[in-house]
Structure 1
Amino acid sequence: ETKPLTIYPVGGSFPYEYYWNGALSGPTISVTPSQNTTYTAYIKDSHGCQSQTVSTTVSIHPPMQLTASANTDSICPSEPVLISFTASQGAGAPYVVTGSDGNIISSPYLYYPPYSTSYVVTATDVCNQTAIVEIPLFVYPLPPNAFLPDSVYGCQPFTVHFNEISPDFGQTYVWDFGDNTNLSLAKNPTHTYQSPGVFDVTLTVTSVDGCKTVNVVDSLITVNPTPNALFTYDPSIVSVLKPLVSFNNLSTYGYEYIWSFGTGDSSSLQNPVYRFPDVGIYPIGLIVITEYGCRDTAYASIMVRDEVTFYAPTAFSPDNDGTNDIFYVSGHGIDPATFYLAIYDRFGQIIWETNKWDPHNPEMYGWDGKHKSKNIVPIGTYTWICTFNDFRGGLYEKAGTVTVIW
C-alpha cells in the first residue's frame, strides 16, 4: 500500500529545498514500505540555511487473517450448514464479514445450500484490507421415491402388492400402509388389509448418504366391508309330509342374495320359502353380495326324512264297472322289496296274496276280489294282513277287514 509523506517549512527564505533520506526531493513523497521503515527529512532555504532533521516511522500492519469452516461439508437437500469464522490481525477490529450474497454475517452463521457450491466468506478491516475463504459444500441428491399398487379397490380382507419402481442404488424403505398395523422394510411388499376403510399409504426412502424422501398418497386404498352370510330355517326337522321350509336370512351388509337348494332350483328373495320334492339330503347355499360386489357364502345341509304312511279301504266292489274294482293299500315310506299282503276268509284260510307293490301305482298289484281259483268271492267281510319294512329297516305289521260289496 502506498502512503504520502509531507514536510512543511516554518521560517527561512523561499524557495526551499526538500531532502528525504538525504536526497533532494519534493515536499511530499509516496512510500510503499514492505516493513516498518523510518524516513528522515530536512529543508534548506534560499540562503542555504538548513533546518533540523526530523524523522517519522511508517508501521506496516500484518496481513489480514481469516479462518472459516463448516460443521460438515456434505449434506442432504434442505439441511443447514453451520459456518464459523474468525478474523484477526490486519489493521485490527472492527471487521466487516460478508457471505456469498454480500450480506453481512456473524459467526456462527446458519446457511441452507440450495445445491453443491462454495460458500465465500470475506473479512474487511478498517484499512479495507480483505481476506477471503471459500468453503466447498456438497449437497447429496435425494433418493427417488415412486410406487404403484396392483389394485386400489377391493373387499376385506384385501391383499395389495406394492411395487417401488425406482432404480435400486442401495436405498432402504419404510412403508406405512395407513391401517395402524406393522410397517414393512421391503422394496416391494405385499400387505393385507383386514378392516374396511380408506387408507393413506406412505413410503419413506433413505439413500446410502442418509437423505430421505417421503411420498404420501392420500386415500389410495379403499377396502369395502365383506358381508357375513348367515341363515336359519324352519322347521328344523323336515319330512316328506312337511317338505315346506321357510328360510330366515340373518346376513349383514347384504344387497343381493342367491339361494341354491340342492335341486337345481334357486331364488333371489331375501327370505324364501321352498318345498323340497323328495326324500334326501340337500346342500343349501346362500351367496350374499354387497352393493360394492363383495361376497360371502353360507352353507347348510337339510335332510328331508321319509315318514311311513299306510291306508287301506274298508270296502270295494269287484264288479268291473270301472269304479272301486280293486282292493289295494297305499302309503309312503314303504320298501317295496319287503312288501307282503294276504287276504283271509272267515275260516282263516289265505284266499289271495302278493309280494308286489308299486309306490307309484299301488293299484297295479291289488286284489281284484277273486279267489285263488280265479272265481269271484261271495259278498262278505274278509280279513287282510300286510307286512313291510320302511327304508331304515323298521318292520311294520298292519291288519284289518275289507267288505266285498256289489
Structure 2
Amino acid sequence: IHNSTVPDDGTGGIFSEITRWEWDLGYGSSTQIYYPGNIDTCYMSYDSPYDVSLKVITDSNCTDISEITTIKVLPTPIPDFVTNLNGSLPGGNGVYLFDGTISTTTNGDSALPPAYSYEWTIEDGNYFINVPDDVQLDGREDKGYYSYNSLINDAWLQACLKLENVDNGCWDSICKDVRIDHFNNLIVPNFMYPTDQSSGASEFLPKGKSLGIYRLQIFDKFGNLLWETSDLDENGSPTTGWDGTSLDGEVPQGTYVWRIKATYIDGEPWKGMLIDGKRV
C-alpha cells in the first residue's frame, strides 16, 4: 500500500494526495482504511481462490483501481490418529493398531493416500522407530499394526504422525503419548536340532517377555533331571537355552521332558502352553 502514488502530482501547481484506500479482499465486500500501511486478513482454503484488488481515492475524489491479484490458498493437512491394543493378533501380545484415517484437511476432506503420505515415529523402549524408513506397519501406511519389541511396563511412550500433501509439500504433524502396558508372553518350542547351528533351533530356548520368576528344567524319560536354568534379562526374557547336554556330556537323540514354573512381573502365573485345547 506504501507504493500507491498520485502521478504527476504538483503539475500546474495543483497538488493532491490519497486519502482513502479500499481493499476488495475477495470476500464480496470492501475494507476501507484512512492511513497508509498494511492490512492483515485470514484466508481459508475452502473459499479459495480469492480475487484481490485495491482502490485508491484522492482528496479531490479521483479514483483508480489496481489489477486483480488472485490468491490461492492450499488446504493444510490436519493429522490425527488413534491407537488400540490388540493382544489377540498374530504375533502375540504387544501389538498395537495405529489408525490415521481420521486425518483431514482444512477443507474438511479426508487426507488419505496416495494424495497424502504418512510418516510415523514410534518410541519403543530406548529407541525411536521411523515408519516406513526403518520398518513397515502391518497393514497400510495410514492404518496398520506395530509390534513393540521392548519390555514396556505400564509406560507412556510418544508416537508422532507427519502428514504431507504429495503434490504441494504442505505438511503438519502431531504427537501423542500412548500408554503401553507390559505384556505377558511365553512360548515354548517342541523340537531342537543341536547339530544344525544355522536353523535357529540348535538350542531349546523358550521365547517370552515380562517374566519375574522363571525356572526351566529338562528331564529324561525316566524322570532324571538333566539340566535347569533361571536366567532372565532386564526385559524378563529367557536368555539361556538347553544345548542338548548334561553333566555327563551330550545326550543321545530321543524324547525329553521339559517343565517350566514362571510368574510374570505383575504377579500373574504362567498357565502353560495351549495345545489342542489343553494347557500343558
Structure 2 length-normalised TM: 0.54
The letter of the residue matching 2:21 is: V
Partner of 1:68: none
Within the candidate set 160, 171, 175, 1:283 is matched to 160
1:395 matched residue in structure 2: 267
| Structure 1 residue 224 displacement after superposition | 1.8
Out of 288, 308, 313, which is 2:184 matched to? 308
Tell me the distance in 1 between the aligned counterparts of 2:51 and 2:39.
Answer: 15
> What pairs up with 1:54-203 in 2 under 5 angstroms?
162-166=1-5, 171-178=18-25, 179=27, 180=29, 182-195=31-44, 196-203=48-55
Whether the 8 Å CA contact 1:342–1:350 is kept in 2: the answer is no
Aligned to 2:118: 259
Shift of 1:264: 3.7
Task: Please list every run of 5 or more consecutive structure 2 residues that lacks an aligned counterpart in the other structure.
Answer: 10-15, 122-128, 134-139, 150-156, 274-280
Superposition deviation, residue 330 in structure 1: 0.9
Number of aligned residue pairs: give it.
219
CA apart distance, 1:365: 1.0
Secondary structure of 2:70's aligned partner: strand
Q: Partner residue of 2:215?
A: 341
1:237 aligns with 2:76: no
Q: In 2 relative to 1, CA 181–327 (structure 1 residues): closer, same or farther, beyond 3 Å?
A: same
Highest RCO, 1 vs 2 (Cα 8 Å, sep ≥ 6): 2
Is contact 1:344–1:351 with CA below 8 Å preserved after alignment? yes
How far does residue 286 in structure 1 lie from its aligned partner after superposition?
A: 0.8
| CA distance in structure 1 between the aligned counterparts of 2:178 and 2:244, rounded to whole angstroms | 41
Secondary structure class of the residue paired with 1:191: coil
Please give the alpha-carbon distance, in whole angstroms, between the structure 1 residues aligned to 2:74 and 2:207: 52
Change (3 A) 1:382 1:295: closer
1:183-231 CA distance string (max 9 Å, x none): 2122122232434343342433333xxx12211125x232223315246
Opposite residue 214 of structure 2, the aligned amino acid is Y
One-letter amino acid of the structure 1 residue matched with residue 269 of structure 2: E
TM-score by length of 1: 0.40
Please identify which structure carries the higher strand content.
1
Aligned counterparts of 1:304 and 1:375: Cα–Cα separation in 2 = 49
Structure 1 pair 339–351 and aligned structure 2 pair: CA distance change class (3 A): same
CA contact (8 A) 1:286 1:298 kept: yes
**1:258 & 1:400 partners in 2: Cα distance?**
44
Stretches of structure 1 lacking an aligned partner (at least 5 in a row):
1-161, 402-406
